[in-house]
Amino acid sequence: MVEVRTGSTGSLDAVAPHELAAKPMRADAQRNHERILQAAEEIFALDGVMVPIDIVAERAGVGIGTLYRHFPTKESLYEAIVLTRLNELLRVADDAIDDAEAEPGAALDAFLREFARQASEKQDLFEALGQAGVDIKSRFAERVDELMSRIDTLRQRAVESGAIRSDVETSDILNLIMGTCHAAGHSRADEQGLQRLVSIVIAGIQPTSPM
Amino acid sequence: MVEVRTGSTGSLDAVAPHELAAKPMRADAQRNHERILQAAEEIFALDGVMVPIDIVAERAGVGIGTLYRHFPTKESLYEAIVLTRLNELLRVADDAIDDAEAEPGAALDAFLREFARQASEKQDLFEALGQAGVDIKSRFAERVDELMSRIDTLRQRAVESGAIRSDVETSDILNLIMGTCHAAGHSRADEQGLQRLVSIVIAGIQPTSPM
DNA sequence: ACTTATTCGGAACATCAGTTCCGCTTAGGA
DNA sequence: TCCTAAGCGGAACTGATGTTCCGAATAAGT
């Protein structure tokens, strides 16, 4: 018995789900799908993934049943949101890598700051990344690996140019930035406070300090 | 109608509860009280405060009812454990402050490393500190403030001796160390990896980097 | 306008964690 | 040894959250 899932093709179509479906969604369904995504984006960003699903439905102006029609599981909704965010980060990393003008140290610096800004702004993203290390089977693992490898590229270049020490691993950098976001999120730190912490981390990985 | 609570005097008696009670506890009760505390210490350290209370009871070899007789609330048990740990940290901080031999930079360095070790070893402690910034009404607030002021003393001395920059706030240091512990906890970092991260943070707050 | 496949909405169900209740057991004094 | 207040254990209750189900509502083709 094969279930034909009309509309959403599964749970990987974070973008324009109706445009590639065999049978186009009904107008109201399509509208609701978007509303749910937007509501989830806002709420997950602010409160993290722990928020009850009803809250999302309410904010989207939609019944719970409707939400579940579009996303068969809370996790599937979570995935849709976070994958979008990871893709955004990947784009930022790619831009940093492709920018031939920038010098390696500055490129890494700028990327890390943007990374920190996004991770601290989107609670959900932060949580996803924070647990990526543990939960290998996570649906995000692949994208996170891609992201890591981009960051590693930036790091290597920075090392070669002498901007940062060579004994610092990419995972160290990631951990420190993520940790910084965590701390900044839990105290009432603002954007400025966060960037100050990031500055300290960046200073910490530079070669100057004679140890 | 006044309820007379026999046995536990409330929920602040983290140490030797039976020794100051009006009527001494029955031998089995006293034994169970200690078992529960120890079980909670072990389990909270490993898995954090999210573990179901039944697990603690099971590990203590005690029924749920018994656990609740000794600690009227999950939170009260949590508090008992964390207060003990905070006191331990306070002692470490005091030792660092009182040690007239040590030079200020080294004293701060050593304390931060010990602090990181303990926070990353005891999941519960870490969680308590991590949220201390938010939850002002927390039962821990007072002790955390004390701890903060000790750390501030260490920091000031280090600044005066030129070991660290003067524009770094105590809360920055705390946030960075806590964040580091968080990250180290979520990846499979070992003690050594953690200390490497702490080293980076410490390097980051030193005055050397010309910025 | 009529029809029907699709979608909606939210009551109802399942699960899980914290807490209460109360009959049974037992330490420890008489 | 016997008695009883103190303590024990765990079934049952409470409330929160994820998920299912199905009758009502409706988009869109004829």
pLDDT in tens, B7-41: 333 333 344 444 555 678 999 999 999 999 999 99
With beta carbons under 8 A apart, name residues in chain B contacting A182: 130, 178-179, 182-183
User: Which of these, A154, A146, A144, A152, lies nearest to A99 by C-alpha position?
Assistant: A154
pLDDT number for residue B190: 84
Amino acid at A143: R
The whole-number pLDDT of residue A182 equals: 80
pLDDT at A13 over 50: no
pLDDT at A181: 86
Q: Is B131 on the interface with A (CB under 8 A)?
A: yes
Q: Choose among B130, B197, B209: nearest Cβ to A175.
A: B197
How many angstroms separate the CA atoms of B48 and B128, rounded? 10
Q: Residue B37 CA to chain centroid, in angstroms?
A: 15
Which of A8-17, A95-104, B150-159, B182-191 is least confident?
A8-17
Nearest CA in chain B to A133: B187
Chain B residues lying within 8 Å of A106, measured CB to CB: none
pLDDT band at A22 (very low <50, low <70, confident <90, very high): low
Tell me if chain A has a CB within 8 Å of the CB of B119. Answer: no
Whether A210 shows a pLDDT value over 60: the answer reads no
Residue B183 binned pLDDT confidence (cut-offs 50, 70, 90)? confident
Q: How many percent of chain B have pLDDT more than 90?
A: 68
The model's confidence at residue B121, banded by pLDDT at 50, 70 and 90, is very high
Average pLDDT over residues A120-142: 78
Banded model confidence at residue A5, pLDDT cuts 50, 70, 90: very low
Residues 53-112 of chain B sitting with CB below 7 angstroms of strand C: 53-54, 64-65, 68, 72-75
Question: What is the number of H-type helices and E-type strands within chain A?
Answer: 9, 0
Please give the pLDDT value at position A11: 35
Interface contact A24, partner B, CB < 8 A: no
**Facing B186 at nearest CB: one of A130, A181, A193:** A130
Q: What is the pTM of this model?
A: 0.85
The helix (H) or strand (E) run that includes residue A60 is: helix A53-60
What is the reported pLDDT for B37? 98
Range with the poorest average pLDDT among A34-43, A125-134, B46-55, B157-166: A125-134
Give how far B194 is from chain A: nearest CA, Å.
Answer: 9
Contacts of B208 in chain A (CB under 8 A): 208-210
- Beta carbon of B52 within 7 Å of strand C? yes
Q: Which residue from B131, B184, B202 is facing A175, i.e. has the nearest CB?
A: B184
- Using the Cβ of B172 and the Cβ atoms of chain A, whether some distance falls under 8 Å is answered with yes
Q: Which residue in B129, B169, B176 has the most chain A C-beta atoms within 10 A of its own C-beta, making it the best mutation to test that interface? A: B176
| CA dihedral sign, ordered B16, B17, B22, B24 | negative
A133: pLDDT strictly greater than 80: no
- Give whole-number Cα distances, A109 to A21, A136, A177, in Å: 41, 28, 11
Give the A window 78-107 contacts with B, CB below 8 Å: none
Q: Which residues of A touch B204 (CB under 8 A)?
A: 200-205
pLDDT at B2: 35
Does A31 score more than 50 pLDDT?
yes
pLDDT in tens, B127-158: 888 775 555 567 888 999 999 999 999 999 99
CA A86 / C1′ D24 distance in Å: 40
**Closest CA–CA distance from residue A139 to any residue of chain B (Å):** 17
Residue B59: what pLDDT? Answer: 98
Residues whose CB falls within 8 Å of the CB of residue A193, separated by 6 or more in sequence, listed in order: A184, A187, B172
If you average pLDDT over residues A112-116, what whole number do you get? 97
d(CA A166, CA A176): 16
Q: What is the pLDDT of residues A42-83, one digit of tens each?
A: 999 999 999 999 999 999 999 999 999 999 999 999 999 999
Average pLDDT over residues A146-150: 96
User: Please, which positions of strand D sit below 7 A from a protein CB?
Assistant: 6-12, 16-22, 26-28
3-state SS string for A123-179: HHHHHHHHHHCCCCCCCCHHHHHHHHHHHHHHHHHHHHCCCCCCCCCHHHHHHHHHH
- Residue B26 structure tokens: 């029955």
